[in-house]
Amino acid sequence: MHAAISFHEKTVLLPMPSRMPLSSITLSVFRHAQQDWIHVPALRVVVRPPRGEPVAALLGLEPLVVGSRGADLLVPDRTISGKHCLLRLTEEGVLLRDLGSKNGLVMAGVRLKEALLIPGAQVMMGQSVLSLELTGPPQQVPLWPEPHFGGALGASVRMRALFAQLHRVATGTETVLLLGESGTGKELLARAIHDASPRRDGPFVVFDCSAVAPSLIEAELFGAVKGAYTGAIQSREGLAEQANGGTLFLDEVGELPLELQPKLLRMLEAREVRPLGGSSVRTVDVRVVAATHRPLREQVSAGSFRQDLYYRLAVIEAHVPPLRERPEDIPLLVERLLASQSPPRTLADLPPHALEMLQAHRWPGNVRELRNAVTRLTLFPSLVSLLPGAEAATAHPSQEEPPLTLREARDAVIQSFERAYIRRHLEENEGNVSAAARRMGISRQMLHRMMVEHGVRAPGHRED
């Protein structure tokens, strides 16, 4: 089942009109009582396979992938591709997109690549039928008033909704599980939770379960008594104890070896740790924030992660969206990244069109990759045409887009490179087409043709 971000404590219910207008299934931001809110319609995606029970999932702010393997909503139908299609709430309604499936999406005899669904619509996927149902009145979800939470920046609706949720949970002691791709800012958010919590004056201790050899994790986390292992010449305190009174951030918790998982479970349940080689337990007062880029539920199904530990960790589960799902955050992030450089720079210092290119890229490495690209760009501005965005997403198709053939992907990269290359030369030659063509080593006529093909106009429209 797909887990949408849950905002139940602060949900305000709106009266449901007797006939549902289309506007009631769109995402829309509005201001009420000095605060921004978003309308999230209560929608359920139901898929009826040819045999067996229907499967269903709620559609929240997160996109929902439907398929037969590795999808959020799993359908037991062999005519359905692993990741068959995606549904996403947008400002225009519910977007349905084919993810390059074998048997496609068919509605009234028409094969769909992309469509806006209205409740009651029925779409064939393989031999199953997908439908969208309204389950009740829309929810009003609060948005964080500022485009940052602690050190984490985000002006998009998804991030502001996440910030509001994390701010609410910061005051409690429940364990928080942050799920998201690498480089999306999970550690930054864990720190922001700590800083917004009553434990802010206590320690914030980070332990990356993937960075330490499995055999050393136990002593590192829970401590060890003298002689517990070769080289343990004296007793040592584990990180759990060092985090006493504060927050323990367990990064990449999905990498925690199966045999150590009961120890962590015990710490979460009884607030007790037993050092390696020790016979007595010690009490700890820590709030745990855990994170992983792995699909932990799948690990539970595969038997590599304990179900009881998963439920214990996911008391509050929050999804950190990948950067490609919130390109509107990029200008803000780039601005801050530039400002933090030495000497500080601004967006105006970027080469022309650099920001557009950055927004066009899919950022598989998320904000970490963006940070590196911006640093490279300020060191070597002439490399702007080699920015990842110049490849216009095609080199890294996201799971939201139907996969391209090699030829389509290569063509798109070349097109995108040519466009950026032409623009740069025209800018450098102040819109003089002949001069730009000379620099590019091609004829003026050819450059003209290319400009028409790419829809590029010379700055100032000068011909010669």
Ligand X SMILES: Nc1ncnc2c1ncn2[C@@H]1O[C@H](COP(=O)(O)OP(=O)(O)OP(=O)(O)O)[C@@H](O)[C@H]1O
- Residues near ligand X, by CB under 6 A: 152-154, 180, 182-188, 251, 291, 293, 333, 367-368, 371
Query: Cβ atoms within 10 A of the Cβ of 307, count?
Result: 12
Nearer to ligand X, 62 or 241 (CB): 62
* Closest to ligand X by CB, 55 or 243: 243
Q: State which residue, 208 or 418, has the beta carbon closest to ligand X.
A: 208
How far apart, in whole angstroms, are the C-alpha atoms of residue 39 and residue 23?
Answer: 10
CB of 366 to ligand X, least distance (A): 7
- Which residue's structure tokens are 């214990």? 312
User: What is the nearest approach in angstroms of ligand X to the Cβ of residue 135?
Assistant: 32
Residue pair 302/295 in contact (Cβ under 8 Å)? The answer is no
428, 421 contact by CB (below 8 A): no
Residues in the chain: 464
In one-letter notation, the amino acid at residue 223 is G
Structure token digits, residue 437: 């063509």
The minimum distance between CB 355 and ligand X, in angstroms, equals 17
**With 0-12 CB in 10 A as exposed, 13-18 as middle and 19+ as buried, what is 278?**
middle
When the beta carbons of 98 and 255 are compared against ligand X, the nearer one is 255
Nearest distance in Å: CB 388, ligand X: 15
- Residue 1 exposed, middle or buried by CB count within 10 Å (0-12, 13-18, 19+): exposed
Q: Residue 220 or residue 329: which is nearer to ligand X going by CB?
A: 329
Residue nearest to ligand X (CB): 185
CB of 359 to ligand X, least distance (A): 16
Neighbours of 191 (CB within 10 A): 19
Residue type, 393: A
Nearer CB in complex with ligand X: 369/427: 369
**Nearer to ligand X (CB atom), residue 141 or residue 209:** 209
- Please state the closest distance from residue 309 (CB atom) to ligand X, in A: 19
**Two structure tokens written together for 163:** 């910030």
Q: Residue 186 Cβ, how far from ligand X at the closest point, in Å?
A: 4
Distance linking the first and last C-alpha atoms of the chain: 62
Strand duo 282-283 + 272-273: pairing: antiparallel
